[in-house]
Structure 1
Amino acid sequence: MKAEIIAIGTEILLGQIVNTNAQYMAEELADLGIDVYFQSVVGDNRDRIKQALQIASERSDLVVCCGGLGPTADDLTKDVIADFTQSKLVIEKQAEEKILELFKGGSDTLITSNKRQANTIEGSHLLKNEVGLAVGFVHKYQDTYYAVLPGPPREMKVMFEQEFKPLIDGLLGEREKLYSKYLKFGNIGESAVEDTLKELIIKQDNVSIAPYAGIGEITIRLSVKANSPEQAETYFEKVAKQIRDLLGDHLYSEENESLEQALAQHKIAGFGVYEVNTNAYLSHRVLSSDAPNENLVISTTKVEKHSITEALAESQFTDFIENNNLKNAIGLFHCQISQASVTPSGRPKKRFFIALCVNNQVSIIERTFIGDMQAVQIRAAKTALFLLLKVL
């Protein structure tokens, strides 16, 4: 099945809000085995919404419209779809009762405008709204399904998960679904990953290989259509093994998790973080985990006026460990806060010492990173997390 997502709302076109709904729905539809080939955004204009529906109907089996279900005059989605599909809008009684109860004692105008949110197309599949007022629906017209969901992300996600997803799953019946597997890498750049895997990517067959770059870490997503998770895993394993053979030294996880999330899985006892001449990004990342270490010790020094040598880094790091009775720790030292170094092409170059302590064994690693200060500090912190994970 081919799907298209149409986001409706002038505020999206003006950049006043970010269209996160499309990202969520595209991922969820892919999990259902539905291919999303097109996405579009259209403002609150009757003619342009109708034009978008006409284009979508000619190339997609499922058109998912999101937004424009509110009580105001510019919330036109249901009216335009009813007109486009030559259908009749009717009031859904339970939704109407919910609105009447909420606005009891309000003006007739207020009640009338809000009752629009209870509209659905006659004979369509109703999508209840458990956290808001505007109901959605799925309506079939001339071999194309038209789905309507609310714009507020919280309402949309609950309706999608509880109402829309089970309905579409049942309508489509037995079919192949899209499955994904994630391989996560650190301490390597995007270009190096792509160069190493270029032959595999060129020759990819039923399993697609897609690298995604972030500062300091790389994700490779493997995707395949299969009849079951077990069948998908058999397809994945051959390709994953080839990638492990090529990039195994940089692999830190086979789950879709960040470096700091992977580190949190270790539940390290007696653990601390020490930073000098940084913006404390490493400490922030360790603390940002969903399950941060309860006894984590954090210490940061904003500015060390003197250039930091390896001996000074080791001395300060060891003192931090001993003063706090730690067995494990990670440290990050920006060596020269006042002197800028550049590459031959003029790009800024920064030296760091990364300090590791695992089971009272201390090691100091020197690294140089190229780029602006913010990117360099993120990359240095991510590299430190990766190196600690590899030691662990």
Structure 2
Amino acid sequence: MKVEIVTTGTELLLGEIINTNVQYLSRKLNSMGFDVLYHTTVGDNPERMRAVLEQAMARADIIITSGGLGPTRGDITKETVAELCQAECYLDLDTWGRIDAYFRKKGRLCSANNEKQALVPVGAEVLQNEVGTAPGLWLEYAGKLFILLPGPPSELMDMCEKQLWPRLLERFADQGIILSRTLHLRGVGESLVAEKLDAVIMAQTNPTIALYARYGEILVRLTAKAANQDKAVALLDACEAEVRQYVAEYVYGVDDDSVAACLGRELLARGKTIAFAESCSGGLASSLVTDVPGSSAYLLGSVVTYTNMAKMKLLNVQEETLNRFSAVSRETACEMAVGVRRLLGSDMGVSITGNAGPEPSEGKPVGLVYIAVALEDVVYCQEHHFSSTRTENKLRIAQTAIGMALDKLKEE
């Protein structure tokens, strides 16, 4: 079945909010065997919204909308779909009662305009909203299926998990499934991976293989379509084994793995601890490490030493080192790594110092970064050059530091 996802709201077109609903819906629908072929975003304009929905009807079997089900005049998705499907709306007393109870539970009274949310097109089935006020709708018309979902992500996901996904799986039980697996690679460029896998990619049928780069790593996504889970997994296993023949040395994780999670596993396996001293990354590397549950077992702490004074007072970086070589230098990075390791008593000390941008500092160019890893009897240091925005540079710097720590841990 072909699916088009239509997200509504002028705020999306203005870039005021990130459209996370599309990512969530696409991943889930594809995993259930539906072919999501189009994403469309349209503002709160009746004529443009109708045109978008008419186009969706011409090229998709299922049209899923997100947003525009609220109580204001700008919420027009339901009205536009009802008009397109030639369906009159009526006040659904059960839904109105649920909305009223929702407000009363919060110690508030419904506004008169909330009644708009309880209007239901004739022939539609209501998908009740258990965490908000706007109900969803399931409406079939002219061989097409319209599914209207609320815009707030928490409401949309709750409604999908509890009501929509079970209903879709029951209605389209013979869809089969589409299953993906993603291999995470580091220490290699996209062009080299493409070259190594060229023969495999050219011969692909099912599963398919796609490459893309993200924040200093390469992702190889394998996607299989099969009648059931077991057959899809078997196809992916065989494809992954073939891909690994060419790039196994660069693969560090699968699916939701992160460099930080892999570092954590290696530290736990070896009974080692780690500490971070960060300057230009502002504590982001430590934050990524603590995103992993259980990281308190190996991360002893971190220090953000953004100024020279902090580097000297907290990490015992020598004033002479800073005066002679500057804060952005190999020498400073090494002293920071040794300093944080001694300060917190960890097995490994990792330091980051550099210029994330957007302007040169102390005569050092934007993107110049030094990362050091201190062990008991040796200190390693690497020079890096990053060339993106300040925000993206910080993320790539943090990921690189975590990756370097992982590499040095494995080398031991």
Query: What is residue 297 of structure 1 aligned with on the other side?
Result: 301
Query: What is residue 87 of structure 1 aligned with on the other side?
Result: 87
The superposition leaves residues 195-224 of structure 1 with CA deviations (integer Å, 9 ceiling, x where unpaired) of 332332222211121222122222221111
Say if 1:354 and 1:366, in contact at 8 Å, map to a contact too: yes
Query: What is residue 275 of structure 2 aligned with on the other side?
Result: 272
Task: For 1:103 and 1:317, locate their aligned partners in 2 and report how far apart those are by CA, in whole Å.
Answer: 55
Please report how far the alpha carbon of residue 311 of structure 1 lies from its aligned counterpart in structure 2 after TM superposition: 7.0
Please report how far the alpha carbon of residue 239 of structure 1 lies from its aligned counterpart in structure 2 after TM superposition: 2.3
Query: What is residue 345 of structure 1 aligned with on the other side?
Result: none
Structure 1: stretches of 5+ with no match in the other structure: 342-347
Please report how far the alpha carbon of residue 10 of structure 1 lies from its aligned counterpart in structure 2 after TM superposition: 2.7
Q: Which amino acid aligns with 1:187?
A: G
Task: For 2:197 and 2:13, locate their aligned partners in 1 and report how far apart those are by CA, in whole Å.
Answer: 38
Alpha-carbon spacing, 1:128–1:103, altered in 2? closer, same or farther (3 Å): closer
Please report how far the alpha carbon of residue 150 of structure 1 lies from its aligned counterpart in structure 2 after TM superposition: 1.1
1:371 paired to 2:371: no
Say if 1:117 and 1:135, in contact at 8 Å, map to a contact too: yes
Say if 1:277 and 1:333, in contact at 8 Å, map to a contact too: yes
Which structure has more helix as a fraction of its residues?
2
Query: What is residue 306 of structure 1 aligned with on the other side?
Result: 324
Q: Which structure 1 residue ranges, 4+ long, deviate > 6 Å from structure 2?
A: 103-108, 308-312
Please report how far the alpha carbon of residue 92 of structure 1 lies from its aligned counterpart in structure 2 after TM superposition: 2.7
Please report how far the alpha carbon of residue 61 of structure 1 lies from its aligned counterpart in structure 2 after TM superposition: 0.5
Alpha-carbon spacing, 1:248–1:384, altered in 2? closer, same or farther (3 Å): farther
Query: What is residue 231 of structure 1 aligned with on the other side?
Result: 231
Q: 1:382 aligns with which of 399, 402, 405?
A: 399
Query: What is residue 134 of structure 1 aligned with on the other side?
Result: 134
Q: Which amino acid aligns with 2:324?
A: H
Task: For 2:259 and 2:284, locate their aligned partners in 1 and report how far apart those are by CA, in whole Å.
Answer: 13
1:340 paired to 2:364: yes
Alpha-carbon spacing, 1:132–1:369, altered in 2? closer, same or farther (3 Å): same
Task: For 2:93 and 2:293, locate their aligned partners in 1 and report how far apart those are by CA, in whole Å.
Answer: 42
The superposition leaves residues 15-48 of structure 1 with CA deviations (integer Å, 9 ceiling, x where unpaired) of 3333322222122211121111112122223333
Task: For 2:340 and 2:109, locate their aligned partners in 1 and report how far apart those are by CA, in whole Å.
Answer: 67
Task: For 2:162 and 2:295, locate their aligned partners in 1 and report how far apart those are by CA, in whole Å.
Answer: 31
Percent same amino acid at aligned positions? 27
Say if 1:120 and 1:136, in contact at 8 Å, map to a contact too: no
Instruction: Identify the range of structure 1 (71-80 vs 361-370) with the bigger mean alpha-carbon deviation.
Output: 361-370
1:255 paired to 2:255: yes
Task: For 1:233 and 1:138, locate their aligned partners in 2 and report how far apart those are by CA, in whole Å.
Answer: 32
Please report how far the alpha carbon of residue 184 of structure 1 lies from its aligned counterpart in structure 2 after TM superposition: 0.8
Query: What is residue 289 of structure 2 aligned with on the other side?
Result: 286
Q: How many residues align?
A: 382
Say if 2:373 and 2:405, in contact at 8 Å, map to a contact too: no
Please report how far the alpha carbon of residue 247 of structure 1 lies from its aligned counterpart in structure 2 after TM superposition: 2.0
Instruction: Identify the range of structure 1 (318-327 vs 232-241) with the bigger mean alpha-carbon deviation.
Output: 318-327
Q: 1:324 aligns with which of 330, 333, 344?
A: 344
Say if 1:30 and 1:178, in contact at 8 Å, map to a contact too: yes
Query: What is residue 12 of structure 2 aligned with on the other side?
Result: 12
Query: What is residue 313 of structure 2 aligned with on the other side?
Result: none
Instruction: Identify the range of structure 1 (4-13 vs 312-321) with the bigger mean alpha-carbon deviation.
Output: 312-321
Task: For 2:346 and 2:109, locate their aligned partners in 1 and report how far apart those are by CA, in whole Å.
Answer: 66
Provide the TM-score with structure 1 as the length reference.
0.85
Please report how far the alpha carbon of residue 353 of structure 1 lies from its aligned counterpart in structure 2 after TM superposition: 4.4
Please report how far the alpha carbon of residue 130 of structure 1 lies from its aligned counterpart in structure 2 after TM superposition: 0.4
SS of equivalent residue, structure 1 residue 58: helix
Q: Cα RMSD between the aligned structures?
A: 3.1
Q: Which amino acid aligns with 1:189?
A: G
SS of equivalent residue, structure 1 residue 18: coil
Q: Which amino acid aligns with 1:329?
A: G
Task: For 1:314 and 1:235, locate their aligned partners in 2 and report how far apart those are by CA, in whole Å.
Answer: 47
Q: Which amino acid aligns with 1:338?
A: E
Say if 2:5 and 2:64, in contact at 8 Å, map to a contact too: yes
SS of equivalent residue, structure 1 residue 86: coil
